[in-house]
Chain A
């Protein structure tokens, strides 16, 4: 089945210790997104790639970076995680912008 896969499902990191979350897709979609979702809040868009074009949201902290080495993979790097970065990180894809999003099952990040 074509899908969006995120690894790991749960990630624990220490305050200030860099962490990388990964996402892969077999849907061959052009667009990949990273959303951050905190408890009882809406998913918040951090950035998205349209093919290789990177689009950063204005209020995404500099602490967050992303890489998309090829169509299938996208990574979220958090350079110096703070306690406030603990959240569910959701990767999503869409064929083109404005079409429905297909989500991976998320990575729940804990910062100790």
Chain B
């Protein structure tokens, strides 16, 4: 089993749609969780940290489910500019941060 797994997609959605991605992780003791956005041929950029209580930033909501060992990212009212690859990042044994392979989102007009 991979340490961090994501559905690669692509998720093709119309503008204005709500879309959600999940990311599962293998280490039940993981403490740090993040969502990054990566545009084609660019570096990853931090979208949001994921806290135990869940957190929201505008149209983006992140949640953590420790019992089932996954984090989720919900995007409401999708914009064309949301098209990107979304990477989840989780700390693993030895305190290293491990990336999932990413979920591709394509928002179409």
A112 to B: closest C-beta gap in Å: 19
Q: Is there a chain B Cβ closer than 8 Å to A81's Cβ?
A: no
On whether the beta carbons of B96 and A101 are closer than 8 Å, the reply is: no
A48's contact among B41, B89, B96, B99, by CB below 8 Å, is which? B96
Binding-face segment, A14-22, A38-46, A64-72: A38-46
| B68-109 at interface with A (beta carbon < 8 Å) | 87, 89, 91, 94-102
On whether the beta carbons of B100 and A42 are closer than 8 Å, the reply is: yes
Q: Is there a chain A Cβ closer than 8 Å to B43's Cβ?
A: yes
On whether the beta carbons of A45 and B97 are closer than 8 Å, the reply is: yes
On whether the beta carbons of A41 and B101 are closer than 8 Å, the reply is: yes
Q: Is there a chain B Cβ closer than 8 Å to A2's Cβ?
A: no
Binding-face segment, B11-19, B44-52, B55-63: B44-52
Q: Is there a chain B Cβ closer than 8 Å to A57's Cβ?
A: yes
B45's contact among A33, A40, A99, A103, by CB below 8 Å, is which? A103
Q: Is there a chain A Cβ closer than 8 Å to B25's Cβ?
A: no
A98's contact among B45, B87, B91, B99, by CB below 8 Å, is which? B91
A106's contact among B34, B43, B87, B102, by CB below 8 Å, is which? B43
8 A-B residue pairings within 8 Å (CB atoms): A42-B87, A42-B102, A55-B94, A88-B41, A98-B91, A101-B34, A104-B43, A108-B41
Q: What residues make up the interface of B, taking CB atoms closer than 8 Å to A?
A: 4, 31-32, 34, 36, 41-46, 49, 87, 89, 91, 94-102
User: Which 5 residue pairs across A and B have the least CB separation, nearest first?
Assistant: A103-B43, A42-B99, A98-B32, A42-B101, A97-B95
